[in-house]
Every structure is written in structure tokens, then in C-alpha cells.
Amino acid sequence: MIKHFSASQLIKELKKDHFVDTNKSVKNIDDNQELLLSAISQYVDRDLPVILDGHFCLLNSEQEIKQVPKETFVSISPFAIIALYDSIVNISKKISNRDGVRYDFDLLSSFQDKEIKFSENIARYLRVPYLSFDASDDISVVEDFIVKLLGKEFR
């Protein structure tokens, strides 16, 4: 079985009660990524395959969309990247239900577009397999992608 970790949960675990802001903006993206890397080294067994659920872009405190530094992905050294996308309506509902925050649809659309483009660029830069997946599609596409990768990488 493959373990799944959320980047934000790893950061929260490391920071404990200091991360209580319900909006998803990040005051200092670089510092936040350093915390993520520290949390990964502390909580994740790097010798086993894991799924790390995170973003390629973040909102800063001015509500601007900023790319996660490329060095973060170099340090994580993924052996594949899967970019999940969804309808803006579904994304808005999920954020509202989870965090009680409503974002402008244009901001969410722009955020998603930038994440997809940047995730493709990172996959090319790192020369790793890449899958862009619509959340409304059959999950077996992702399962097949992962199974093929694990068969290749972990024999």
C-alpha cells in the first residue's frame, strides 16, 4: 500500500498550532517550502513510494498567484507528477466547504491554469513522467499510471 501525505498537513504537523489561518494564502512561500522539506525529512520514509498531495502555485498574502520555487521540486525529487484539475464550480465548492472561504471564479481559473502549466514545466525540467487528470474522469487512469511507474521503478 502506498502512503499518502498532504503537503499542507505535513507543514501543519511540523508547525503544530502555529498554522491556524483558514485562508489559503501563504505569507512567505519560500519559508513555507523549507518547512515542507523539513516535514518530509521528518515524517516521510524516502525509501518507500508515497503520494505527496500539494500545489505547484500558492496564493501569497496579497492574493497573488506565485509559483512554488523550482528548487522545492528538485529537493523533493519526485519520480512522477500527476496534476489534478476540476471544474471551477467544483473547486469553489470544495474550498468553501473545507475552509469557509469563497474565491472569485476568475482567480480560481487562473490559479488552475498556472498550476497545470507550471506542473508540466517542472515535469519536463525534472524529466519525470507526467499525467494531467480531470477529476471527473475514471480514477483507473491514475491507478494504471501509478502501477506502471511502480512496476518500472520498484522491481
Q: What is the pLDDT of residues 85-142, one digit of tens each?
A: 999 999 999 999 988 989 999 999 999 999 999 999 999 999 999 999 999 999 999 9
More confident call, 17 vs 16 = 16
Q: What is the mean pLDDT of the chain?
A: 86
- pTM (predicted TM-score): 0.82
Q: What's the whole-number mean pLDDT along residues 136-150?
A: 92
CB of 63 closer than 8 Å to CB of 107: yes
Which residues pair with residue 58 across a beta bridge? Answer: 66
3-state secondary structure at position 103? coil
Domains in the chain, please, with CATH? 3-153 (3.40.50.300)
Q: Measure the CA dihedral 97/101/102/107, to 10°.
A: -110
Q: In angstroms, rounded to a whole number, what is the distance separating the alpha carbons of residues 151 and 15?
A: 36
Q: In angstroms, rounded to a whole number, what is the distance separating the alpha carbons of residues 88 and 107?
A: 10
* Per-residue pLDDT at 18: 45
Q: In angstroms, rounded to a whole number, what is the distance separating the alpha carbons of residues 30 and 84?
A: 23
- pLDDT class for 17, splitting at 50, 70, 90? very low
- pLDDT class for 25, splitting at 50, 70, 90? low
CB of 99 closer than 8 Å to CB of 23: yes
Whether the pLDDT of residue 22 is over 60: the answer is no
Question: Would you state the cell numbers that stand for residue 64, as one nine-digit string?
Answer: 497573488
Which residues pair with residue 50 across a beta bridge? Answer: 3
* CA 99 vs CA 24, 25, 91, 119: distances in Å: 8, 12, 12, 24
The percentage of residues in the chain with a pLDDT greater than 90, rounded to a whole number, is 55
* Per-residue pLDDT at 44: 85
Q: Report the first-to-last Cα separation within the chain, whole angstroms.
A: 15
Q: What's the whole-number mean pLDDT along residues 64-87?
A: 94
* Per-residue pLDDT at 104: 93
